[in-house]
């Protein structure tokens, strides 16, 4: 009973604080994500007042938060739109992998950490945070923008690539043979294909099984289906985020519309929990020794993400303001980067400083990314962009007599 009482006090106090921080951030017109992270740091390991009793609650809540963020994004798009966007964004996905994995790979080699650590750090710098970006797009009211499908396509390609990367890096870290590594990779590929086929070909049947007329049944059905598919995907070494996103894609019509309205409050609650948990499990004392290398790596790879988003949006025919919005939106790294670093630490076969470096790196991008995502909406940025566009316009040829 005492543990339960402590849990209720800690969770209640922290949620109340998050509510106040969210109101404060909106009053000043900034994203609440950095404030949520700082709250987690203040009450996590090595913080001002560590909260031990509620850590497990926030761990589960954080996982649900990422799942809800991705299913809500999936509800905005149809299966045909997903396939079309994936086809058009495939070259951008390749550019994304090259531009953003190579800096991390090379950085680890320069530090003398070995090629296995280089593969791990390359993955950490490659993958953007679907959860953070989904939250930023919602906060800035950009879900319906023309560049948003391009951003989502890049994110989905990254998440699908993770289905292949995670089994591979796990095998490398464990030192298992080629046969076991190949089996894990094969299971991951098969799972992704099955989930895609079900979402695209049988999505209408799933929607028909859920009634839009009964809000309670619809909420329980959609939430249960999403968590079930996400859990199965994660068990089969595929991203839970991919599973959740494809559930959203599979639902259509009135079911998708009403599910969006019902899930929105839950998404906001658990998304805040996700960002707090990230801060809770981060020990600020581990970061000062690796802060400078992490900052350097963040600057380089946030720049390469900007280039990735810009080129992907340009290839899709998006106007220049949308290209910049796409580039800035892709900057934050998050849940996958921490998962990859956690695998490396658990294996115990790579440089011990890798975890601290990854934590500092992710924290820098998660705090600064949402702030930088607002730049394209600022008047001075729009004005400079208009001047740049005007300067490229051909000047009219003067008339001659």
Non-local CB neighbours of 141 within 8 Å, separated by 6+ positions? none
Residue 28: inside a domain: yes
Residue 45 lies in a domain: yes
Quick one: which of 307, 318, 315, 378 has its CA closest to 146? 318
Q: According to the model, what pLDDT value does residue 195 have? A: 66
The tally of domains found in the chain comes to 1
Q: Do 162 and 188 meet the contact criterion of CB atoms below 8 Å apart?
A: no
Q: Quick check: 225 and 178 in contact, CB under 8 A?
A: no
Contact 210, 89 (CB under 8 A): no
- Domain membership flag for residue 397: no
Confidence (pLDDT) at 100: 94
Q: Judge whether 238 lies within some domain.
A: yes
pLDDT at 31: 67
HEC string of 315-335?
HCCCCHHHHHHHHHHCCCCCH
Q: 219 lies in a domain?
A: yes
Residue 177, domain CATH: 1.20.1530.20
pLDDT given at position 176: 59
Query: What is the model's pLDDT at position 131?
Result: 75
* Domain of 336, in residue numbers: 2-384
Q: Is residue 341 part of a domain?
A: yes
Write out the chain's pLDDT in tens, 401 residues.
Answer: 567 788 888 888 888 988 998 888 777 766 677 788 788 878 877 667 777 667 788 888 888 887 887 788 778 766 666 666 667 777 888 889 999 999 999 999 998 888 888 988 999 999 898 878 888 888 888 888 889 888 988 887 887 777 677 667 767 776 655 566 667 667 766 766 776 677 677 777 777 777 777 888 888 988 898 899 888 877 776 667 777 877 887 787 788 888 888 888 888 888 888 778 777 777 777 778 888 999 999 999 999 999 999 999 998 889 889 999 999 999 998 767 877 776 676 666 677 778 788 888 988 898 888 889 999 989 898 888 888 877 777 666 565 55
Say what the pLDDT of residue 36 is. Answer: 81
Inside any domain, residue 399: no
- Residue 380 CB neighbour total at 10 angstroms: 8
Residue 389 placed within a domain: no
SS (H, E, C) 222-274: HHHHHHHHHHHHHHCCCCHHHHHHHHHHHCCHHHHHHHHHHHHHHHHHHHHHH
Q: What is the pLDDT of residue 322?
A: 92
Taking the model in full, what pTM does it have?
0.71
Read off the DSSP letter of residue 86.
Answer: H
């Amino acid at each position: 009973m005492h543990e339960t009482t402590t849990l209720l006090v800690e969770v209640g106090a922290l949620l109340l604080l998050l509510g106040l921080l969210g109101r404060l951030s909106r009053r000043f017109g900034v994203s609440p994500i950095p404030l949520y992270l700082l709250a987690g740091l203040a009450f996590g390991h090595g913080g001002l007042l560590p909260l031990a009793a509620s850590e497990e609650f926030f761990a589960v809540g954080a996982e649900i938060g990422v799942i809800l963020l991705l299913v809500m994004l999936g509800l905005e798009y149809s299966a045909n739109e997903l396939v079309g966007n994936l086809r058009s964004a495939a070259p951008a996905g390749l550019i994304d992998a090259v531009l953003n994995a190579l800096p991390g790979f090379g950085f680890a080699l320069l530090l003398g950490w070995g090629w296995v650590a280089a593969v791990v750090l390359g993955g950490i710098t490659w993958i953007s945070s679907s959860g953070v970006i989904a939250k930023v797009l919602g906060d800035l009211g950009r879900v319906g923008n023309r560049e948003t499908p391009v951003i989502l396509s890049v994110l989905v390609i990254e998440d699908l690539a993770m289905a292949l990367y995670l089994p591979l890096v796990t095998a490398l870290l464990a030192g298992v043979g080629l046969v076991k590594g190949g089996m894990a990779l094969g299971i991951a590929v098969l799972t992704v294909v099955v989930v895609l086929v079900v979402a695209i070909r049988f999505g209408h049947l799933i929607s028909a099984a859920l009634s839009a007329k009964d809000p309670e049944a619809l909420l329980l059905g959609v939430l249960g289906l999403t968590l079930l598919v996400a859990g199965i995907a994660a068990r089969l070494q595929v991203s839970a985020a991919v599973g959740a996103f494809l559930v959203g894609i599979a639902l259509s019509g009135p079911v998708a519309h009403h599910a969006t309205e019902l899930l929105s409050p839950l998404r906001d609650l658990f998304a805040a929990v996700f960002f707090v948990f990230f801060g809770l499990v981060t020990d600020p004392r581990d970061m000062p020794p690796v802060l400078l290398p992490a900052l350097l790596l963040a600057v380089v790879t946030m720049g390469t993400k900007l280039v990735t988003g810009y080129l992907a949006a340009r290839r899709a025919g998006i106007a220049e303001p949308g290209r910049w919005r796409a580039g800035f939106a892709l900057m934050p790294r998050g849940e996958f980067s921490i998962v990859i670093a956690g695998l490396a630490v658990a294996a115990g076969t790579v440089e011990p400083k890798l975890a601290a470096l990854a934590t500092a790196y992710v924290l820098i991008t998660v705090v600064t990314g949402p702030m930088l995502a607002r730049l394209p909406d600022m008047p001075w940025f729009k004005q400079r962009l208009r001047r740049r566009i005007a300067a490229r316009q051909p000047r009219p040829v003067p008339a001659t007599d």
